[in-house]
Structure 1
Amino acid sequence: MAAIITRFNIDAPRWDQNTFIGRVKHFFNITDPRTLLVSERELDSAKVLVESCRVGTVPPGTTQEHLFYAKKLYDSAFHPDSGEKMNLIGRMSFQVPGGMAITGFMLQFYRTVPAVVFWQWVNQSFNAIVNYTNRNAASPITVKQIGVAYFTATSTALATAVGLNLYTKKAPSLVARWVPFVAVAAANCVNIPLMRQQELINGITVTDENDNPLGKSKKAAVKGITQVVISRITMAAPGMILLPIIMERLEKYPFMKNIHFLHAPLQTVLVGGFLIFMVPVACALFPQRSSIAVSQLEPDLRESIVAKYGDKVPYVYFNKGL
Structure 2
Amino acid sequence: MSSDLSLNINIKEPRWDQGTFMGRAQHFFMVTDPRNVLLSSETLEEARVIVENYRSGVVKPGLTEDELWRAKYVYDSAFHPDTGEKMFVIGRMSAQVPMNMTITGCMLTFYRTTPAVVFWQWVNQSFNAVVNYTNRSGDAPMTLNQLGAAYVSATSGAVVTALGLKSLATRLPPIVSRFVPFAAVAAANCINIPFMRQRELKYGIPVMDENGNRLGESPNAAKQAIAQVVVSRIGMAVPAMAIPPVIMNALEKRAFLKRFPILNAPVQVGLVGLWYVKYFFLISNKSFLVIK
- Superposed pair shares fold, TM > 0.5: yes
Matching of residue 6 in structure 1 with residue 6 in structure 2: yes
CA deviation vs aligned residue, 1:91-119 (integer Å, no higher than 9, x gap): 11111111111111110111111111111
SS in 2 for 1:140: coil
CA distance in 2, matches of 1:21, 1:229: 27
Does the aligned pair in 2 maintain the 1:106–1:116 contact within 8 Å?
Answer: yes
2:205 matched to which residue of 1? 204
Does the aligned pair in 1 maintain the 2:25–2:280 contact within 8 Å?
Answer: no
- Percent identity reads 55
> What is the CA distance between 1:23 and its match in structure 2?
4.1
- Please list, as runs of the form range in 1=range in 2, the aligned pairs for 1:45-64 lying within 5 A after superposition: 45-64=46-65
Does the aligned pair in 2 maintain the 1:235–1:279 contact within 8 Å?
Answer: no
- Please list, as runs of the form range in 1=range in 2, the aligned pairs for 1:101-112 lying within 5 A after superposition: 101-112=102-113
- Please list, as runs of the form range in 1=range in 2, the aligned pairs for 1:26-175 lying within 5 A after superposition: 26-175=27-176
CA separation of 1:86 and 1:57: change in aligned 2, threshold 3 A: same
Does the aligned pair in 2 maintain the 1:234–1:282 contact within 8 Å?
Answer: no
Unaligned runs of 5+ in 1: 288-319
Unaligned runs of 5+ in 2: none
2:272 matched to which residue of 1? 271
> What is the CA distance between 1:9 and its match in structure 2?
2.4
> What is the CA distance between 1:15 and its match in structure 2?
2.8
SS in 2 for 1:5: coil
> What is the CA distance between 1:83 and its match in structure 2?
1.3
Residue type of the partner of 1:223? Q
SS in 2 for 1:65: helix
> What is the CA distance between 1:271 and its match in structure 2?
1.3
Select between 35-44 and 228-237 the one with higher mean Cα deviation.
228-237
Cα root mean square deviation, aligned:
1.9
2:246 matched to which residue of 1? 245
Structure-1-length-normalised TM-score? 0.84
CA separation of 1:9 and 1:30: change in aligned 2, threshold 3 A: same
Does the aligned pair in 2 maintain the 1:9–1:53 contact within 8 Å?
Answer: no
Residue type of the partner of 2:164? G
- Please list, as runs of the form range in 1=range in 2, the aligned pairs for 1:7-22 lying within 5 A after superposition: 7=7, 8-17=9-18, 22=23
CA distance in 2, matches of 1:273, 1:105: 15
SS in 2 for 1:144: helix
SS in 2 for 1:171: coil
CA separation of 1:219 and 1:22: change in aligned 2, threshold 3 A: farther
> What is the CA distance between 1:276 and its match in structure 2?
3.0
Does the aligned pair in 2 maintain the 1:77–1:86 contact within 8 Å?
Answer: yes
CA distance in 1, matches of 2:168, 2:213: 53
CA separation of 1:255 and 1:237: change in aligned 2, threshold 3 A: same
SS in 2 for 1:273: helix
Matching of residue 230 in structure 1 with residue 231 in structure 2: yes
CA distance in 2, matches of 1:282, 1:128: 24
Matching of residue 286 in structure 1 with residue 280 in structure 2: no
Residue type of the partner of 1:262? L
> What is the CA distance between 1:226 and its match in structure 2?
1.5
Does the aligned pair in 2 maintain the 1:5–1:63 contact within 8 Å?
Answer: yes
